[in-house]
Structure 1
Amino acid sequence: MSDDRYEGDDWRAERVKDIQKTCDKFLAQTNFLVSATDDGDSKSAVKILITGAASNQKNIFLLHSIAEGQMLGPTQNVILICYGDQKASIILQEMVNELKDCFLPLLADVLVTTDEKEAFTGIKIALLLDSVANDERSSLGKYQDTFRMMKEYGHSFNYTGSNVKILVISEPVLINALILRRHCQAVPPKNIASLSLTPLNVTKYQLFYDSSSFKVAKKMDAQPDRIKNLIMWGDDPHTFTYDLSRSTFKEGSEWKHLPTVLANEHWVKNYLPELVKERIQKLASRTESSLIVLSRAVCEQVYSWWFGLPNNDIKRMGVESDGSYGITKGLYADFPVTINSNGEYNIVRDIEITPTHQLKIQAINERLLDYVHSIQDWPMFQQNQLLA
C-alpha cells in the first residue's frame, strides 16, 4: 500500500521520523526511557549540574550512578546538565551518548552545554568536579586555573538563586569551597559544602572514612552498616586519629555504645590507622577503583544532605567554620555534623576533645591558614578578601 507521505524528495526524512516515533512509543511503554517532555513524574525531575566532568572520562561512573538513583533514590527522576567549554563538550557528548545507550529509567534528560545561563538556571544540585593536570609548580600554584573557575562559578550562581546545594569536589576542595563562598553572593553559605577529608586531595583520602568504618566492622565481625557515628580528626593519613565517643554498634536489634562493646582502645589508636593506611595505599594506585569509591562517596554525601540523617546521626562534612573546636571562623574545614529532614546541617559542638585530638585540630587550622595566606595576595583575590 502506497503512502503519500513517502512521495517526493523528502520521503526518506518522513520515513525516519515515523520509525523514530514508533521506537519512542515502544520504549515508553516498556519503561526503558523517560522523556523530559512526557507527562507525569518527569516534570518534577531534579536538575543536577556537573562541571568538569570532562576532566576525566571515567567520571562516567558518577554520572551513571546518579542516573541509576544512587544519589536521590530509586523513584526520583533527574536531569543532568554537563557544563564545559567547547573542547570539553566533545568529550561530554560521548559520555552522554553512553548514558543514553543504557536507557536508564530515572534519566529524564541529559544536556551538554557551553552556555553559562542555560547551565546554571533552575538547578537544585551542583557538583563541581573541575581539576587541573599535575605540573611542576608549587602545591597551590598548579591550582590557579581551578581557583579562577571557582571565582567565576561564584558569579554564575546568580542565575541559580538561593535554593541550590553546591558540593565542591575539585581539588583542593576546602580552599575551593572558601573561594566559591567568597564570590557567591546569591547562595547562602550553608548551601555550599565540600566532600573533603583533606585540604589538597579528596580523591585519595575520601577512601579513609569508608575504609575506617569497614575495618571497625570487620573487627566486630559485623556488616559496615552496623557501625555509625565514627568521628575522625586530622587531615593527613599520617595524623588521622579516631574518636569513638559517639560511635554506636548494632548488636542484634539494639544499638549500643561502641567503646563499651569494642573495649580495645589500643587497637583503635595503633592498629586501625595502620590497617586503613595499608588499604588506601593499595586502592590509591588503582585509579579506576578510586573513582568508583569517589562516585559512591559523592552520591552518599548528597543523599544525606538532601534527605537528612535519622536519629541525629553524625557524618563528616566540609563546611564553613563558626569557630567551633578552635577552627578560625570563615575557613572551610571538616566537621562532625547532623542533618535534619529539611537538608540543613548543624555542626556538632559538644564533643569532648582530648589533648591529642586538640593538637590535630590545631595543626589543621594552622595548615589551612597557611594555604589561605599564601594565595590571599594573588591578583585574582585582591578585590575579595578570602578571610574577613
Structure 2
Amino acid sequence: MAEPIRVVVTGAAGQIAYSLLYMIARGEVFGKDQPLILHLLDIPPMVGVLEGVVMELADCALPLLRQVVPTTDPLVGFKDVSAAFLVGAMPRKEGMERKDLLSANVKIFKVQGEALDKVAKKEVKVLVVGNPANTNAFVCANYAPSIPRENFSAMTRLDQNRASAQIATKMGVPITSVNNIIIWGNHSSTQYPDAGQGKVLVNGQWKSIVEAVGDNAFLEGAFVETVQKRGAAVIAARKMSSAMSAAKAACDHMHDWWNGTAPGQFVSMGVFSDGSYGSPKDVIFSFPVEIKNKQWKIVGNLPISDFAKSKLILTGNELQEEKNEALSVLDSN
C-alpha cells in the first residue's frame, strides 16, 4: 500500500465536516488504496465536540484511516499536509449580509494562509469551502507566497451539481446523463450557471442541453435563479446551511483535482483569473477547467452568448469589489 498522506479539514467539528470526514476517510477522494492521516482543526470552544468526532471516526473502523490528529493550533493542523479542505469560516445566518461575513472571514483566512506557508507541503492542494469562498481563497493565497497560486481554489462544484440536478430533473434523466454545465464567477447569488455548453444523454444520444430542453426562457430565467438562490432556499427550509451536499461537492472537487477529468469533460472551479472571457484579473473566478496530472487548465474559446457575457460582467464586478474590500480590511489591521 502507498504511504499515508496527511489531509486537513478545518471547521472539523462543524456540520459540513461531519459528512466530509467520513467520505474522505472511506477513500472517496484520494482512492481506495491511499491511506490517510486526518488532521482536524477547529477553534478552542469546539474541543469537546472535536473529541466526539474523533471517537466516531475510530468507531467507523475505516481501513484507510491510519491516524487522526485533532488540534486547535494551525501550525499543527497544516503540518506536512498534501491536501487542505478549508471549511471553517464564520457561518452565514439567515438575513446576514455577505459584507459582514467578509470582514470576519478575512482575518481567519489570513492566519490559515500564514500557517500553510510555514508548514504545509509546497505542492499542497487547498480547497476553500467556507464562504465567501472565492475571496477567502484569494486572501489565503495572498498570505502563502511560497505555495503556487494555482494550488488555491474555491468551491463552485456545489453550484455545478445543483445545476446538473435541475437539468436532469427537467429532462427526466439520471444525473450521469448530464455534463459540462459551467458555473461562472462568484459562489454567490451573482454566479452564472450556464447550460449553453452542456450536453444531455437522451435516448442513447448526447445532445446540447439548449436543443434538448428547447426553452431558452427557462434556461435564462428559472434555471439560473433556482441555482443562484438554492443555498438560501436550503437555509430557509432546514434553518441550517446545505451541509451534506456541500461535503459531497468538496469531495467531487478534490477528487477531480487529484485524479483528473475525463476526456471531453470539464468541471467548474474557482481559480486565479488570467482575464479569460473578459473576467477581471487576479480574483478567484469560477471557470470551466480540464485537469491532468493534478494541474487545472481553463477551457478556452467557448462560444459565449451576449446574455452570458452580461452575467459574467456582473459577477466579475462583485468579485473585484469583494477583493478590494478584503484588502482594505487587511490594511486596517
Verify: 1:328 aligned to 2:245, yes or no: no
| 1:19-98 alignment runs, 5 A limit | 41=1, 44-54=3-13, 56-57=14-15, 59-98=17-56
SS class of match (2:6): strand
1:146 positional shift? 2.5
CA distance in 1, matches of 2:97, 2:197: 39
Deviates more, 1:254-263 or 1:356-365: 254-263
Name which of 182, 185, 201 aligns with 1:231.
182
Change (3 A) 1:61 1:130: same
Contact 1:161/1:186 (CA < 8 Å) preserved in 2?
A: no
1:79 positional shift? 1.4
SS class of match (1:377): helix
Change (3 A) 1:267 1:118: closer
SS class of match (1:44): coil
CA distance in 1, matches of 2:233, 2:153: 28
Amino acid across the alignment from 2:152:
I
CA distance in 1, matches of 2:73, 2:189: 43
Q: What is residue 170 of structure 2 aligned with on the other side?
A: 219
CA deviations on 1:145-164 (whole Å, 9 max, x unpaired) are: 42122112222122123111
Q: What is residue 144 of structure 2 aligned with on the other side?
A: 184
Verify: 1:292 aligned to 2:244, yes or no: yes
| 1:1-388 alignment runs, 5 A limit | 41=1, 44-54=3-13, 56-57=14-15, 59-132=17-90, 139-157=98-116, 158-196=118-156, 206=158, 208-233=159-184, 235=186, 241-251=192-202, 254-273=205-224, 282-284=233-235, 285-286=237-238, 290-340=242-292, 342-378=293-329, 380-381=330-331
Identity %: 26
Change (3 A) 1:210 1:377: closer
CA deviations on 1:305-360 (whole Å, 9 max, x unpaired) are: 100101131111110000112222111111111111x0110111211222111111
CA distance in 1, matches of 2:309, 2:132: 23
CA deviations on 1:172-230 (whole Å, 9 max, x unpaired) are: 11111111111111210111001047xxxxxxxx3x43232122123333111111101
Change (3 A) 1:139 1:270: closer
Change (3 A) 1:45 1:336: same
Contact 2:8/2:85 (CA < 8 Å) preserved in 1?
A: yes
Whose radius of gyration is greater, 1 or 2? 1
CA deviations on 1:265-308 (whole Å, 9 max, x unpaired) are: 34423443466578666533225682111110111111011001
CA distance in 1, matches of 2:328, 2:222: 43
1:68 positional shift? 1.7
CA distance in 2, matches of 1:278, 1:179: 25
Change (3 A) 1:245 1:64: same
Q: What is residue 34 of structure 1 aligned with on the other side?
A: none
CA distance in 1, matches of 2:250, 2:7: 13
CA distance in 2, matches of 1:72, 1:351: 30
Change (3 A) 1:211 1:139: closer
Deviates more, 1:212-221 or 1:239-248: 239-248
Change (3 A) 1:233 1:174: closer
Gaps of 5+ in 2: none
Q: Number of matched residues?
A: 330
Change (3 A) 1:164 1:299: same
CA distance in 1, matches of 2:180, 2:299: 11
SS class of match (2:9): strand
So what's the TM-score if we normalise by structure 1?
0.76
Change (3 A) 1:322 1:176: same
RMSD: 2.8
1:47 positional shift? 1.1
Contact 1:318/1:333 (CA < 8 Å) preserved in 2?
A: yes
CA distance in 1, matches of 2:294, 2:230: 33
CA distance in 1, matches of 2:129, 2:227: 22
Contact 1:241/1:269 (CA < 8 Å) preserved in 2?
A: no
SS class of match (1:89): helix
CA distance in 1, matches of 2:101, 2:229: 28
CA distance in 2, matches of 1:366, 1:279: 22
Structure number with higher relative contact order (C-alpha < 8 Å, ≥ 6 residues apart): 2
